[in-house]
Amino acid sequence: MPGARVESIVVYTTRVEECRAFYAGLGLEFTRERHGEGSEHYAAVLDGGGVFEIYPATPTRVTGALRIGLVVDGTGLPPGRRTLRDPDGRTVVVGP
């Protein structure tokens, strides 16, 4: 049966550094990037090869309501499933 995998998740925010710190606290390892004349942003490679990116918002590029589910290891969070909110109020479900 054919499958799908996440290639990329891009979050646009006016709180780039706060969001980077939040997701880094969940175990994502970010590098700063810029492609050509594009915006400087952060990218983290996920298990399976997908990329999670945080870009600065613009008047035409803002991420609204979004629910993100992440399986993370070594975050220092107690075991179990948790529902958190990132700095922009997006729901982030973290669990094993």
Judge whether residue 1 has pLDDT over 50. no
Judge whether residue 2 has pLDDT over 70. no
Report the 3 state secondary structure along the chain: CCCCCCCEEEEEECCHHHHHHHHHHCCCCCEEECCCCCCCEEEEECCCCCEEEEEECECCECCCCCEEEEECCCCCCCCCCEEEECCCCCEEEEEC
* pLDDT one-digit tens code per residue, 29-41: 999 999 999 999 9
Judge whether residue 73 has pLDDT over 80. no
pTM listed for this prediction = 0.85
The per-residue pLDDT of the chain, averaged, comes to 89
Structure tokens, 85 = 């909110």
